[in-house]
Amino acid sequence: MPGNSFGQLFRITTFGESHGAAVGVVVDGCPPGLKLSEKDIQPELDRRKPGQSKITTPRKESDTIHIMSGVFQGKTTGTPILLITFNKDAKPSDYEAMKDIYRPSHADYTYDLKYGLRDWRGSGRASARETLARVAAGAIAKKYLFEKFGTECLSYVEQVGNIKSNIALDKVAKVSIDKSIVRCPDKVTADKMIKLIEKVKADGDSIGGIVKGFIKNPPPGIGEPVFDKLPADLGKAMLSINAVKGFEFGSGFDGVTMRGSEHNDRFTVTSNNKITASTNNAGGTLGGISTGENIYFRVAFKPVATISKEQKTVTRSAKHTTLAAIGRHDPCVLPRAVPIVDAMSALVIMDHYLRHKAQNL
């Protein structure tokens, strides 16, 4: 089955191309009765849209969302929800000079291998513009989860290049994340990140980094015990995002330096007779099932492949050439990746919550 859909009971199918007419998503499995309007979705798209600051692509898109089905009298009906936004600032002519050239480290080459042709207008479905649809769908999941459990799916830019923030998770809130154009709540570190991105941009180059994600107040007991463990599905979700090269859950690779006696999260009982853990090296799951503790993870993004700095490459006819790409591209995807990570977190939690409810009637 073509890989344009994600989820089992809360299932999304995205469609559209970067420089085509529109981008959108069909959301199937949303419970009926949820109050929903475009105003609930648009703020998340505004966090992802291009042209929002001096360190993002200058492409100008309002990314105005339209609900075409699945909502009646302001509430979800339980039927498929179609969300769509129309491209307004597409410039396929920017890519015409590259239509027969493979950009280094880009999906141009593999799309040709798979399909025998490719949409060279901004790379079509390989473009990160597809993630607009995920953010739109994720906004619905985020609203449902917050209203039912107080669950918040948040993330922030922890690292750009070799510049890293060590801010504690309990000091991070959405308002502090969005105060900075780089979406790092640590102001001193954020200023250094911005200067680095500006320098890289001026050099015609790009740079990567790490987004740290965390899920506050997740519903306990969700996740499957073997192949569909919650961390496994979160990993799949994050690794499906453009430019992601790594996923680390809980203590991650740092855990290999610890003894079991150090890494184990000791159970304790609170004053109101609730079982909890004194630490959270496990990252909020045990055996692939959520404990109710906060979930946290890290996502590594590579530098953007399309850069204006001249590089050696080859053509579709296997001839050597050079390329200095034109067009409008992010020098660093991290600031706009934050709402995408949030959305994918919410989609995973929402799907697993519905699966849990279906199994535990």
How far is it, in rounded angstroms, from Cα 327 to Cα 325? 7
For residue 176, the Cα-to-chain-centroid distance in whole angstroms is 19
| Residue 121, both tokens | 């207008």
Arithmetic mean of pLDDT, 321-346: 91
Q: What is the pLDDT of residue 1?
A: 58
pTM given for the model: 0.95
Length of the chain: 361
Residue 328: band (very low, low, confident or very high) from pLDDT cuts 50, 70, 90: confident
Which of left, alpha, beta for 112 (phi over 0: left; psi -120 to 50: alpha)? Answer: alpha
Q: What is the pLDDT of residue 58?
A: 75
CA angle, 138 as apex, 132 and 142 as ends, to 5°? 145
Arithmetic mean of pLDDT, 300-323: 93
Among 244, 251, 247, 252, which residue's Cα sits nearest to residue 235? 247
Arithmetic mean of pLDDT, 311-328: 89
How far is it, in rounded angstroms, from Cα 250 to Cα 340? 20
Among 17, 131, 149, 24, which residue's Cα sits nearest to residue 80? 24
| Residue 13, both tokens | 């199918």
How many helices and strands in the chain, by DSSP H and E? Answer: 8, 19
Report helix, strand and coil shares of the chain as percent, to nearest 5: 35, 20, 45
How far is it, in rounded angstroms, from Cα 136 to Cα 83? 7
Of 58-62, 157-161, 229-233, 351-355, which range is least confident? 58-62
Give SS3 for 311. Answer: strand
Which segments of 219-279 does DSSP mark as H helices, in order?
A: 230-239, 260-263
Among 48, 29, 24, 13, which residue's Cα sits nearest to residue 350? 29
- Measured in degrees and rounded to the nearest 5, phi and psi for residue 276 equal -145, -175
Q: What domains can be seen in the chain, in order of their start residue?
A: 5-359 (3.60.150.10)
Among 28, 6, 1, 2, which residue's Cα sits nearest to residue 241? 6
| Residue 32, both tokens | 């009926």
Tokens 């979700």 locate to: 237
Is residue 43 within 8 Å of residue 61, measured between CB atoms?
A: no
| Residue 73, both tokens | 């009298």
Residue 161: band (very low, low, confident or very high) from pLDDT cuts 50, 70, 90: very high
**Most confident region among 42-56, 138-152, 263-277 by mean pLDDT:** 138-152
